[in-house]
Amino acid sequence: MNFRNHRKLIVIDGETSFIGGHNIGDEYLGLNPKVGFWRDTHVQIDGPATQAAQLSFIEDWYWATNNVPELPWKPWISDKNTKVVIIPGGPADPVETISLSFTHIIAQAQQRLWIATPYFIPDLKVMGALQLAALKGIDVRILLPQKTDNPIVSLATHNYVTELSQHGIQFFQYQAGFMHQKVMLVDQQLTFVGSANLDNRSLRINFELNALIECRDTASQVEMMLENDFLQSRPYPLIHGKWHTLLTKAARLLSPIL
């Protein structure tokens, strides 16, 4: 029961797929006054990469039903000619696929690393990669939600933010609702979009699905999208009171099981 399928995937005719953080739920209507509008991101992928997403779906379907449905496997060529890698990951993998992919992609940054994630409890590998990026003088910005649905996770997050802020990483809180998107923008050409949060569950416990896209046009669109999100955000407030610090450190001790 602990190994949850957290993937959010739509596959249409084996030709088009949608991957990202968007669930199917009434919460996206913005009717909950405590949370309000849900800010999320999905990406549409056309062409052969969709079949890699379809393979992820059929593996999950077979596990749930012990049945393999008939699906189209003839590749449909898109005219965009964009490089896309579909990255599924989960606790059944021989290695920690999602954690390693985040670590590797962060390490590719040379000028800019912008991240949006609703939950921020990174493991040691990701922490080290973020610290190294900041020490190299890279523009590292991390967008988190101001509103949260888990107060213990929020306390643990504050402890990580306090530590990483000392290295020059800029943290922001999204104000216009609940920020649920999982997006990473690296320099001028790499975009990482999917279901994986930067927390322990996504990095090693959940079954996740992300898409890594190498495309300057896509990166430019994501840049404009995130710039608009930053305009609706404010710097993450750092609280240094004795009791608050104690609570955040206690919450961080629980982070491996959150």
- Catalytic residues, by residue number, are 6, 8, 13, 180, 182, 187
Beta strand residue intervals within the chain, DSSP E? 9-12, 16-20, 38-39, 42-46, 83-89, 112-116, 139-145, 170-174, 178-179, 183-186, 190-194, 208-214, 233-235
- Spatial CB neighbours of 166, under 8 Å, sequence gap ≥ 6: none
Residue 201, both tokens: 């569950």
Maximum Cα–Cα distance across the chain: 61
- Determine whether 55 is exposed, middle or buried from the number of CB atoms within 10 Å of its CB (0-12, 13-18, 19+): middle
Give CA–CA dist 130/150, Å, rounded.
24
Spatial CA neighbour of 32 closest among 142, 147, 152: 147
Residue 32, both tokens: 């909950």
Give CA–CA dist 68/1, Å, rounded.
23
Spatial CA neighbour of 178 closest among 251, 257, 119: 119
Residue 184, both tokens: 């990473």
How many of the other CB atoms lie within 10 Å of CB of 127? 16
